[in-house]
Amino acid sequence: MKQKKFNKKRLHKILNNWELYLMLLPAVLYIILFVYKPMYGIQIAFRDFQFKDGITGSRWVGFDQFRRLFNSYWFPIILKNTLTISILNLLLSFPLPIIFALAANELRNEKVKRTLQTVSYAPHFISMVVMCGMVVMFTSPSSGIINKAIEFFGGEAIAFMQKPEMFKWVFVLSGIWQGTGWSSIIYFSALAAVDKSLLEAAEIDGASRLQRILYINLPTIVPTISIQIVLAVGRLMSLGQEKVLLLQTSPNLNGSEIIATYVYKVGLEQYSYSFSTAAGLFNSLCNCILLITANTITKKITKQGLW
């Protein structure tokens, strides 16, 4: 009896709010048709997909595609590259926006501070294609400004884009150039919440600028930092394949081929759909494990987590 009444109330609430559901409809339809429906297609990783048979009509092959992946010539290379580039990227590009925000926050002149922030966001608005184009031109051994500078200081021109061992540095440093300013926004807004009276009290008590930063400003933004760490680790292995593809050259392939670019090549260039999907699934699984591990660790240390 009570249950029935409850259901009726619930139904009434839904009917009453039909307009809200109508507002949700385009967004929900989109994720069902364009995000969830493709997930159903992941099963081709366990099949031998043929266009004429379709997704469900193709033959089951179990873990064959994965076995092929793990035994392939490229597997150790792409796994190593994915991990080294990802980890180097995380270690170098994560702390900089925090340091930049803390340092710029100390500027007393609001106008200077705002100009600096504006300029620091500019690289974010440059497209990946253009950014990579700039990298290639700047590092050119014959005419690039970076090599001109190296030669000016007595060094020898380096063919940055041709050397596999240079790739990770090119990737990470250009990413730092493009992303540091933009990533710092969130820390600037977190710093706006610092208690001004606390800073004044510390100043009267004789705390130096550096001490005020370390013991007041930094602790205030620690929750923001820990959330950002979890998010960054969650994205660890989803390196932008777009950027890697744009910076790849055949001589540097041994240092630049990552799982995501491999997925793209075997899938859309060689049409091995099932094999490519299996490689992609392997990448997402690694990502998932990293995300859960990172969340558990940060939760233990900072009592903050994504869930």
| Least distance between another protein and beta carbon 194 (Å) | 14
Cα 1 off chain centre by: 52
In sign, the C-alpha dihedral spanning 286, 171, 77, 257 is positive
Distances in Å between the Cα of 173 and the Cα atoms of 15, 85, 178, 240 are 55, 11, 9, 14
Tokens representing 48 are 């031998």
Q: How far is the CB of 150 from another protein (least distance, A)?
A: 11
What is residue 166's DSSP assignment? Answer: G
Kindly give, in sequence order, each residue whose CB lies less than 8 Å from that of residue 293, ignoring residues fewer than 6 positions away: 233
CB of 306 to another protein, least distance (A): 9
Question: Between residues 1 and 35, which has the closer beta carbon with respect to another protein?
Answer: 35
* Nearest distance from C-beta of residue 284 to another protein, angstroms: 7
3-state secondary structure of 59: strand
Considering the complex, state which of residue 213 and residue 297 has its C-beta at the smaller distance from another protein.
213
Q: Which two tokens stand for residue 96?
A: 């900089």
Closest to another protein by CB, 91 vs 214, is 214
Q: How far is the CB of 67 from another protein (least distance, A)?
A: 18
Nearest to 278 by CA among 71, 34, 77: 71
Neighbours of 166 (CB within 10 A): 17
Tally: H helices and E strands in the chain: 18, 2
- Using DSSP's 3-state secondary structure scheme, residue 68 falls into helix
Taking the complex as a whole, the smallest distance from the CB of residue 63 to another protein amounts, in Å, to: 17
Which alpha helices (DSSP H) does 72-158 contain, by range? 75-93, 95-104, 110-121, 128-138, 145-152
Nearer to another protein, 70 or 271 (CB): 271
* Residue among 89 and 139 whose Cβ is closer to another protein: 139
Find tokens 């699984």 and name the residue. 285
CB atoms closer than 10 angstroms to residue 12: 10
As a whole number of angstroms, the distance between CA 283 and CA 261 comes to 11
Euclidean distance between CA atoms 34 and 266, whole angstroms: 23
Which is nearer to another protein, 88 or 116 (by Cβ)?
A: 116
Cβ at position 182, least distance to another protein in Å: 9
Nearer to another protein, 1 or 22 (CB): 22
Tell me how far, at minimum, the Cβ of 82 lies from another protein, in Å: 15
Nearer to another protein, 91 or 130 (CB): 130
